[in-house]
Amino acid sequence: MLKKVLKFTVPLALCLILVLASILVAGCGPAGTTATEIVIGATRDITGPQAGFQTYGTAPVYKMWIEEVNAAGGIDVGGKKLKVRLIEYDDASDTSVAVKNIEKLCTQDKVNFLFGPTGTAMLFAVAPIANKYKTLMLGSEGGATTMEPLLANMPYVYSVLNYSNHFQLPVFCDLIAAKGAKTVYICFMNDLHGAEYNLTMQSECGLRGIQVLEAKSIPVTIADMDPIINEAKSLNPDVFCMFAYPNQNILFMQTAMSLNFNPKCVIVGPGCNFGFFNLMFGAALNGVCGEGAWNAKSSPAAAAYAQKIEPLVGGAGNMDWWGSIVYYAEYQYFAQAVTKAGTLDTDAILKVFRTEHFQTVVGDFYWSVQGNGTGGGLLPQACYVGQIGQWQNGIFEVVDNDSHNTASFIYPKAPWPQS
């Protein structure tokens, strides 16, 4: 009899626990906005393949900014200080989950604003949804050429990060053309980031008479780069471009060194801009270029910011010398725009976004509004601290050929050190 009873009570008890847990969990969900706070939502990769960005990407920057704002009593909105509260959901880099999260943030949690998601593909996925719910989204990691025409019809989306044609590769190609580079080999990952950098590089090289010897795509799972490096070595390019993500870029560095492949210039995609690249490769990294860029020498404000953010990201190894400073500048701008608007009404704040300049950690900050002034926004070139970085003696120097540079561009770079 007892056996029979147990046979049914165990599954029943399990179901009961599930139902009660669901009610409790649902009850514990965040409440909607109150008049005393500003609620900002974000769907982020907290447990998925891009989870590292929660440590060294946008997340530590907005968390620091929120702490600072709240420590100062909040953002002044029409004479009343409102504290900022963050609601962050995990999407594990699954676009369908990210879309669902954004819908929940906008419709149930009724957030006032959104922070951007983790990465370019996710930005593509959630930007139309943010726009659909007329919720202002402040950009984060990610940005893409193919997004530009779409921004014209997305007035609620502001993308802050620089990328291939905006304005990194034109600056890079100017640098190598000025030094007399004639040939380029491109290796790119077969995703949105790699594909766009490849096409932009080919087009920019064409404009400057630089010959592209080969453009080879690689999968994200690549485990052996020997054939590509051997082929590149046989073609002897002046410049080697590695447009992939940290794992593939690290593999490239190791393979290029072991096969003694020494082009005059090497540019490496995301990963190279982080402090851990310097910790991994040390002196071998001298002369290697990356996408970015800023450093503590960019300005006294940048130095103070670097000092402030470094302990929060977990040390020098997690310093992001590409986007970190513009994310922070964007939040500083946002706070001033809300104060200027004097309301949490998104359309009133957008009016400020479209017209106003504010001083931030990067200096004068304003938006280039797409769609003849009615669409979403991109950051103009003048607001970036730099476009191309080059590791020189442990510093990711800004080597742009303008007033932003913190060191001269080294070309040709020294050969890899022999171990």
Stretch that binds other proteins, among 74-82, 95-103, 281-289, 340-348 (CB under 8 A): 95-103
Q: Which residue is associated with the tokens 């003048």? A: 382
Give the nearest distance from C-beta 377 to other proteins in angstroms: 18
Nearer Cβ to other proteins, position 104 or 297?
A: 104
Q: Is the dihedral of CA 285, 291, 292, 297 positive or negative?
A: positive
Stretch that binds other proteins, among 169-177, 185-193, 253-261, 376-384 (CB under 8 A): 185-193
- The pairing of strands 137-138 and 183-189 is unpaired
Total residues contacting other proteins by CB under 8 A comes to 45
Q: Which residue is associated with the tokens 């590769």? A: 169
Task: Report how far Cα 157 is from the mean position of its chain's Cα atoms.
Answer: 15
Site for other proteins in 100-129 (CB under 8 A): 100-101, 103-104, 107-108, 121, 124-125, 128-129
Nearer Cβ to other proteins, position 95 or 286?
A: 95
Integer distance in angstroms from the first to the last C-alpha of the chain?
75
Question: Contact, 400 vs 387, CB < 8 A?
Answer: yes
Nearer Cβ to other proteins, position 192 or 302?
A: 192
In the set 33, 70, 190, 286, which binds other proteins (CB under 8 A)? Answer: 190
Q: Which residue is associated with the tokens 């470094």? A: 310
Q: Which amino acid is at 108?
A: Q
DSSP state of 288: -
The CA–CA distances, whole Å, from 124 to 143, 195, 209 equal: 9, 15, 33
Stretch that binds other proteins, among 63-71, 189-197, 351-359, 389-397 (CB under 8 A): 189-197
Nearer Cβ to other proteins, position 6 or 178?
A: 6
Give the nearest distance from C-beta 29 to other proteins in angstroms: 6
Site for other proteins in 72-91 (CB under 8 A): 89-90
Nearer Cβ to other proteins, position 48 or 412?
A: 48
The three-state secondary structure class of 203 is helix
Closest of 308, 262, 302, 312 to residue 397, by C-alpha: 302
In the set 1, 2, 28, 223, which binds other proteins (CB under 8 A)? Answer: 28
Which residues have C-beta within 8 Å of that of residue 322, sequence separation ≥ 6? 161, 270, 273, 290, 291, 292, 293, 294, 389
Nearer Cβ to other proteins, position 48 or 394?
A: 48
Site for other proteins in 35-54 (CB under 8 A): 46-47
228 contributes a contact to other proteins by CB under 8 A:
no
Integer Cα distance of 296 and 278 in angstroms = 15
Site for other proteins in 325-354 (CB under 8 A): none
Which residues have C-beta within 8 Å of that of residue 182, sequence separation ≥ 6? 210, 211, 238
Integer Cα distance of 73 and 53 in angstroms = 28
Q: Tell me phi and psi for residue 191, to 5 degrees.
A: -135, -175
Site for other proteins in 196-215 (CB under 8 A): 196, 199
Q: Which residues bind other proteins (CB under 8 A)?
A: 8, 10-12, 14-15, 18, 21-22, 25-26, 28-29, 46-47, 89-90, 94-97, 99-101, 103-104, 107-108, 121, 124-125, 128-129, 132, 146, 150, 153, 190-192, 194-196, 199, 217
